[in-house]
Amino acid sequence: MPGRGRALAVLSLSLLNVFAVAAGLAVVKLTPDRRLSPQPPSVAARDLVRIAPSSAAIPAADPGSGRPPDPSALAGRLSALIGGPQAKINAVVVDAESRRPLYELRAGQPATPASTTKLATSVAALASAGPAHRITTRVVRGTGDGIILVGGGDPTLTALPPRPGAGHPPYASLPDLARQTAAALKASGTGQVRVDYDASAYQGPRTAAGWKPNYLPDGELAPVSALTVDEGRVAPSDPSRRTRVSDPPSAAAREFARLLAKNGVSARAGRSTVALKEAVQLGAVQSPPLSALVEHLLTDSDNDVAEAVARQVAINLGRPATFADAAQAVRQVLAGLGVAEGVSVNDGSGLSPLNRISPIALARIVSLAAGGDHPKLRPVITGLPIAGFSGTLSPPRYTVAASQGGAGMVRAKTGTLAGVSTLAGLAYDADGRLLAFAFMAGDGKGPVDPGKLDQLAAAVATCGCG
């Protein structure tokens, strides 16, 4: 099946069936020409792609049988859309297999990456900790009548009941942890406790360099802490309310005391402390595997999960779990993979406007994750939103005439800050060749149009430039 036909077949098998069917989902439908067809509105876009069990073998993306596009032909298509060298866009397209640049416009010039920073965070986490890594939350004995709720940095810890059909592995359950703890306390004859809390797994400030003062009150994320329940949301069962608590660890202790009382143990919230290493454990719950956390943080651009995952890189490398050390740890791991050049970050989520990453660095990171040499990195690719279908690329993106040629053909991470819009990911071109790209628009001083980046990615996907 030569040319475009084979490219679409490769896409369905290597970039969709691998991503969705391997996860036990059958939500992606192909029309007779093998292009993705939109699903009815009842299918939640964010549930289209979810991680397979961590033991599942997810093959590398097929580089395709087509030859790479002619650089001059590709440049003609992209330059017409960009509008000349004065446009505030840095751009690159590379052959995903060889990582050879095919189009460059200030490709090596660092720019504000916004949430495409999460690509660097995710690659570093998977490479250092591995896709099967889980984060543990424990309860141990304290002093006197105290017990200690010990946070390990799990961003999924929840007090909500399980939600059937949620499209993700079970989250760590605070009610389950309370049941375990209450049973252990009752078995030892203890009926009344003080719930202290230990969030010492993280150190340093709870906000990163460059973060704007409105991020926390606006609910962009909670203050970053090793112990947080339901991402610190004041009303976790109401998605319309974004407000977060000011002190996530103390709020977690209060909620845990309430749950213990429901299980027959009188409990009151206590104080911050540090548990002894030899303390007797009363209960424990674990996060989903890191592979699932990475998929979620990329598909939905979850800032809380991204910051937690960045901290896991620091912890795995034996560094303090601070913003600065996490950023340095991420770069250290990327350097070991040969893709650190052009990467300078201050956080794991990309909220800091002080972050700088070049387009060529983003394209190399994506190409590395798609290739066959590092299978541990595959959740980075399976987590990328599908253009026009899932996550942050759900409609209305890729539904207008200028970009709909990329619908179902592009997988990419988005990034948005005031005056900045970015897009980095993968697409098969019309000749069946897998290409990686990064488009970075804006200087933070004026309006930007993410639709322009969608048009550029669609032009890559529809280019028969071989």
The tokens for 199 are: 């969030």
Pairing of strands 89-95, 101-105: antiparallel
Q: Which of 169, 240, 229, 228 is nearest to 201 (CA)?
A: 228
DSSP letter string, 341-397: TTEE-SSSSS--TT-EE-HHHHHHHHHHHHSSS-GGGHHHHHTSPBTTTSGGG-TTT
Gap between the Cα atoms of 412 and 385, Å rounded? 6
User: Residues 414, 301: contact at Cβ < 8 Å?
Assistant: yes
281-286 β-sheet, strand order: 266-272, 192-198, 146-150, 136-141, 281-286
Q: Which of 391, 465, 446, 462 is nearest to 423 (CA)?
A: 391
Q: Of 12, 88, 118, 403, which residue is the catalytic one?
A: 118
Q: Which of 224, 438, 352 is nearest to 344 (CA)?
A: 352
Annotated catalytic, 115?
A: yes
Q: Of 301, 349, 352, 358, which residue is the catalytic one?
A: 301
Annotated catalytic, 118?
A: yes
- Calculate the CA 321 to chain-centre distance: 19
Q: Of 14, 115, 291, 367, which residue is the catalytic one?
A: 115
Q: Which of 311, 378, 397, 317 is nearest to 348 (CA)?
A: 311
CB-side neighbour CA atoms (13 Å) of 342: 20
- The CA R_g of the chain, rounded to the nearest whole Å, is 23
- Calculate the CA 440 to chain-centre distance: 19
- Residues with a catalytic annotation lie at 115, 118, 301
